Structure 1
Amino acid sequence: MAGVLDSVNQRTQLVGQNRLELLLFRLRGRQRFGINVFKVREVLQCPNLTALPKSNHFIRGVAHIRGQTISVIDLSLAVGGPRIEDVKNSFVIIAEYNRSVQGFLVGSVERIVNMNWEAIMPPPSGSGRYSYLTAVTEIEKELVEILDVEKILNEICPVNTEVNAAILDDGEMKRDLGERIVFIADDSAVARNQVKRALEPLGVQTELAKNGKEALIRLREIAAQDCKHDITERVALLISDVEMPEMDGYTLTAEIKADPKLAPLHVILHTSLSGVFNQAMIEKVGADDFIAKFNPDELATAVKKWVHCD
């Protein structure tokens, strides 16, 4: 376990190479799951938990860790499985998502594996709208499931997507956009819809993609079919997640900036990786802006800024 903990803090060099490292863990059975190491602060034996009255039933309690009170979510319960019973012999993954820190109670933690995003695939199409998977991969001939943590957290504490009235305008955004759209790329259906709902009051039309590869193919199709000069004739702005199967947001941005017909497109990287923001990498790939998920006012303000600057 000490080796796993030591490794968690040494992974920033992978950013921008379309690579990631997964921390593998199990809940109750043999099925293995993975979480991006960039999301992980530390892994520890489950400490004493204090139950809170009237809390969400997925939350097994709170723990005091390094001067901070952290809610501990039973990840098995949260995805529709049975609760983890042997808490004392279980582990907690302390992770940062969407500007908050939470603990995930898991049965066991295995090791860290180095992966290419191309080996991380979208979940099977038959998994259904209520699936908690955001991606899958194969390691040692076994399927590893990557959970849609944003969906889980949104069910426990729904994200506010309402934009402050002071930020809304009287059709100014609509006039600047005309018939152009804002393109959204995110592997989490919950996150895609959060962005879409936040922008709708601004009169923004959107198109959605489930990962960077799908977004790049579609943007090139639009540029080839609908644009005489460059993509901005049809698409005003791209809002992209960073973590996505097949192609991450950094690689997507670099591909866009290397394509003459796509290069003028403004790119906002919008990610739950708020704890590891790498300004040098954002500049290296040519992104125009970075916003940590999820603040609808900040997102709407950034969209207005980059649309109005055209």
Structure 2
Amino acid sequence: MEPSKIVAFKLGKEEYGLDIFHVQSIERINHTTRVPNASVFVKGVINLRGNVTPIIELSHMLGMGHTQYTDNSRVIIINYGDSQLGLIVDETSDVLNVNPESIDQAANSGFDSEYFQGIAKIDGRLIILLNLEELLKELVPNK
């Protein structure tokens, strides 16, 4: 298999990664408009270059609680099917090449969550790879 590229980012002290194929851009956190009756992890929506884009607090969605925003906090704008949404993260770090043989699958890694594909071991770093399809199932119906 060919190496893939991921965007690495932090939530708390842990590093996570998303396949770069889904990442449109990385933005600073700006004013969000709250949406009544939205899920608790939906921060609101923003107008991003003419598109109304929902913004998700990823740490809250993963059960890690609310996060304090800093100057390093970012919104990773992703495309998933016909949908665009933003994921708030504590900090983005870099784009990395990931060889398939450097990934321990989630079932073999000692944790069981449909939100994770596995853990990549890259240059001494452990990066938890998110399963975007499962993560967004309840947010983007019929995908």
Corresponding position of 1:23: 7
Corresponding position of 1:280: none
Q: Distance in 2 between matches of 1:131 and 1:147?
A: 9
CA RMSD for the aligned pairs?
1.8
Aligned match for 1:45, one of 14, 28, 31: 28
Deviation at 1:53, TM superposition (A): 0.6
Alignment of 1:138-157 (within 5 A): 138-157=121-140
Deviation at 1:45, TM superposition (A): 0.8
Q: Distance in 2 between matches of 1:87 and 1:60?
A: 16
Deviation at 1:140, TM superposition (A): 2.4
Q: Compared with structure 1, are the counterparts of its residues 52 and 88 closer, same or farther at alpha carbon in structure 2 (3 Å cutoff)?
A: farther
Output the amino acid matched with 1:123.
A
Q: Distance in 2 between matches of 1:152 and 1:69?
A: 20
Corresponding position of 1:67: 50
Deviation at 1:137, TM superposition (A): 0.5
Corresponding position of 1:80: 63
Corresponding position of 2:98: 115
Give unpaired runs (5+ residues) of structure 1. Answer: 1-16, 161-293, 295-310
Q: Distance in 1 between matches of 2:21 and 2:139?
A: 22
Q: Distance in 2 between matches of 1:82 and 1:140?
A: 29
Give unpaired runs (5+ residues) of structure 2. Answer: none
Output the amino acid matched with 2:4.
L
Q: Higher strand proportion, which one?
A: 2
Output the amino acid matched with 2:139.
I
Q: Distance in 1 between matches of 2:136 and 2:97?
A: 26
Structure having the higher Rg = 1
Output the amino acid matched with 1:20.
S
Output the amino acid matched with 1:25.
F
TM-score by length of 1: 0.43
Instruction: Judge conservation of contact 2:98–2:120 (CA < 8 Å) in 1.
Output: no
% identical equivalent positions: 27
Q: Compared with structure 1, are the counterparts of its residues 88 and 52 closer, same or farther at alpha carbon in structure 2 (3 Å cutoff)?
A: farther
Q: Higher helix proportion, which one?
A: 1
Q: Secondary structure at the match of 2:136?
A: helix
Output the amino acid matched with 1:140.
D
Q: Secondary structure at the match of 1:51?
A: coil
Deviation at 1:101, TM superposition (A): 0.8
Corresponding position of 1:35: 18
Output the amino acid matched with 2:17.
G
Q: Distance in 1 between matches of 2:98 and 2:85?
A: 25
TM-score by length of 2: 0.89
Q: Distance in 1 between matches of 2:37 and 2:70?
A: 20
Higher relative CO (Cα under 8 Å, sequence separation at least 6) belongs to 2
Q: Distance in 2 between matches of 1:66 and 1:156?
A: 22
Q: Distance in 2 between matches of 1:114 and 1:142?
A: 13
Alignment of 1:160-199 (within 5 A): 160=142
Q: Compared with structure 1, are the counterparts of its residues 118 and 89 closer, same or farther at alpha carbon in structure 2 (3 Å cutoff)?
A: closer
Q: Distance in 1 between matches of 2:13 and 2:55?
A: 22
Instruction: Judge conservation of contact 1:58–1:156 (CA < 8 Å) in 2.
Output: no
Q: Distance in 2 between matches of 1:88 and 1:144?
A: 23
Q: Distance in 1 between matches of 2:34 and 2:134?
A: 23
Moved over 6 A (4+): none
Q: Distance in 1 between matches of 2:32 and 2:88?
A: 11
The count of residues paired between Structure 1 and Structure 2 equals 142
Instruction: Judge conservation of contact 1:92–1:104 (CA < 8 Å) in 2.
Output: yes
Q: Distance in 2 between matches of 1:21 and 1:132?
A: 19
Confirm whether residue 98 of structure 1 aligns to residue 81 of structure 2: yes
Corresponding position of 1:174: none
